[in-house]
Amino acid sequence: MNLSHVILYAIVPIIVVMLAGYISGKKGVFTGDDAKKFNKVVLDYALPAALFVSIVQATREDLVKDIKLTLISTVGIMACFMTVYFVFRMFKKNTGADAAVSALISGSPTIGFLGFAVLEPIFGTSPSVALVVAIVGIVVNAIGIPVGLSLMNASLEKQNPGSTKHESAWKPVIHALEQPVAWAPILAVVWVVVGIPWPAYRSPSFDLIAKANASMAVFSAGITLAAIKFTVNWQAVLGSIFKMIMMPAVILILGLLFHMDPLNLKMLVVAAALPPAFSGIIIADEYNTYVATGTSSLTLSVILFIGFCPLWIWLTDAALRSGFLC
């Protein structure tokens, strides 16, 4: 794969649009509250529409081929998620809630905000790209976030008995599945499995809102970063190392070991190399837990992504060409 193409057509546009959002945030044109509203448009409308309309155009054969993609995504991402949690839990000054926020940030890729913006310029617009974004999104939103919230609430309850509501352990899972970004791709998969034809005339209505997804998500990310106070400390650096090095490495090794489809593997490695999930920062801010270090790790990872994205594409191509672990 031509790395100059990746840099010029995927990385540079993201930097330009994110920088525009960052400058507008610094100048006060848009605020953090505006970013939250933009994020809601992305997560509740544009991204679900993009996922749904792309997946319903896939075939049953495509879905069967992507079973390995689903299993490796789930095992690889959640293994990294729990590794981050247990490592950060060992540090004396960290609480279990701090470790949970670390996992929600450094153990989760920001697939909803940057998935299409990064993958489509590199791999083209296709149902395969949408399936990668959808599967990783479901792992992050329907598994990772509920697990992280459960770990956080358990820690907060232990520190201050009675401080959290005693709710069913399934409530975070149910809440996650109620979000359009989770149920829209699931509905699309069911649609394909059942074999309901998708008339071409329906797609333009979905495409119109879907096109707002990448640009609005990246611009909003810039506004969010403008509101973050950036200070580097060793935990922020460690979190960035876990996210930008460990996660894509784990996905690459698993994909090679289990002979994953080469194109799916490339897309999944790039998805795993995305910066940390912005949802982790939102949760950290809501609970007032690990905010400064978490936001610093996020900002540092966004900067490192500029170099690590083409690096991981090159490493994946090199591993596939050499037959490493095959």
pLDDT of residue 61: 82
pTM comes to 0.85
Q: What is the pLDDT along the chain (326 residues), one digit of tens a residue?
A: 677 888 888 889 989 999 999 999 999 999 988 988 988 898 889 988 988 988 888 888 877 777 899 999 999 999 999 999 999 999 978 888 899 999 999 999 998 888 998 999 999 888 889 889 989 988 888 888 888 888 888 887 776 666 555 556 667 677 777 888 888 888 988 998 898 888 889 899 998 998 888 888 889 888 888 887 777 889 999 999 999 999 999 999 999 999 999 999 999 999 999 999 878 877 887 777 888 888 888 889 988 999 999 999 999 999 999 876 65
The domain ranges of the chain are 3-320
CATH topology of domain 3-320: Na+/H+ antiporter like fold (1.20.1530)
> Under 8 Å CB-to-CB from 182, ≥6 apart: which residues?
137, 138, 141, 142, 176
Q: Annotate 8-17 with b (16+ C-beta within 10 A) or e (fewer).
A: eebbebbbeb
Give yes or no for a contact between 271 and 111, defined as CB atoms under 8 angstroms apart.
Answer: yes
Rounded distance between C-alpha atoms, residue 160 and residue 8, angstroms: 51
pLDDT of residue 55: 86
Whole-number Cα distances in Å, 291 to 46, 102, 201, 237, 278: 28, 10, 46, 15, 12
HSE-CB for 84 with a 13 A CA cutoff: 37
pLDDT of residue 273: 96
